[in-house]
Structure formats: structure tokens, C-alpha cells
Amino acid sequence: MNMNEDKLLTKYQVMDYLNISRRHFEKLVTEENLPIIKITQNKRYVRSSHLNRYIDERTINKPQETNQESEPEESFQWKNIWGKN
């Protein structure tokens, strides 16, 4: 499923995407404020951009940009195998 384009996902598509049960989906909607578009009692949709934002807001241990500076090769001094510099 391409989550880059903003489209309406059925609750079953969301359940499949998140690998959750219907009961868990209902809990996300009622207790965790997952934004839905309600057409009828059983026809409910989630906008893909809202789902992505919902997931992003609840992501723990978000990846951070790392900038590892290593020593330049010239400053590293190899010791001779016989212990001489």
C-alpha cells in the first residue's frame, strides 16, 4: 500500500496495515483519538495522511540524525608488528 498519496483507507485496510484486530481498532478510535471519517455506523474511513501523523506522534525512540566524526587517517599511528613506531 502506497502511504505517500493522501487517500481514504477503510477500517479493514487500516487494521491490515497496523496488523490489529477490530477491537483494537475501536479502542484506537474511542480511547486514542485515531481520526476517522464516519459515513455510517459501519462505514468509516481514515485519511492516510492522518494515519501517518497519528503513527509519527506515537513513535517512541525516533531515529535521530547521527554525525559520527572519525579520526582522520593521518592521525592514526600504526605500531610496527615488532613493537617499533
Phi, psi of 8 (to 5 degrees): -90, 130
Closest CA to 51 of 74, 84, 20: 20
Pair 47, 11: CB distance under 8 Å: no
* pLDDT value, residue 72: 55
* pLDDT value, residue 78: 60
Using a cut of 0.75, tell me whether the model's pTM lies above it.
no
Residue 46: its H or E element: strand 44-47
9 CB neighbour count, 10 Å cutoff: 21
* pLDDT value, residue 41: 83
Taking the chain (85 residues) in consecutive chunks of 10 residues, what is each chunk's mean pLDDT?
76 95 94 92 92 90 64 58 60
Phi, psi of 74 (to 5 degrees): -65, -30
List the domains of the chain with CATH numbers: 8-57 (1.10.10)
Average pLDDT, the chain: 81
